[in-house]
């Protein structure tokens, strides 16, 4: 079974989703302004999804 690759959040007051399978390398210098931030629970869930999708199965 494929792990979930999307995280449902609220961003700037609107329902949104983080498409973990679409994340690429990002440079902070390219961002102009901050829209919002993740709550601690959302950040933990996002890290968990990233680990599940990209962690090496070999250990």
Q: What is the pTM of this model?
A: 0.74
pLDDT tens track for 1-59: 666 889 999 999 999 999 998 887 778 888 888 899 999 999 999 999 999 888 865 55
The 8-class DSSP code of residue 49 comes to H
DSSP 1-42: -PPP-EEEEEETTEEEEEEGGG-----GGG--S------HHH
Q: What is the pLDDT of residue 54?
A: 84
Q: Which among 44, 38, 32, 30 is positioned nearest to 12, based on CA atoms? A: 38
Could you tell me if 39 and 52 are in contact, meaning their C-beta atoms sit under 8 angstroms apart?
no
């Amino acid at each position: 079974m494929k792990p979930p690759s999307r995280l449902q959040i609220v961003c700037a007051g609107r329902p949104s989703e983080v498409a973990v399978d679409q994340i690429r390398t990002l440079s902070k210098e390219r961002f102009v302004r901050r829209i919002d931030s993740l709550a601690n629970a959302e950040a933990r869930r996002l890290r968990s999804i990233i680990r599940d999708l990209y962690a090496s199965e070999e250990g």
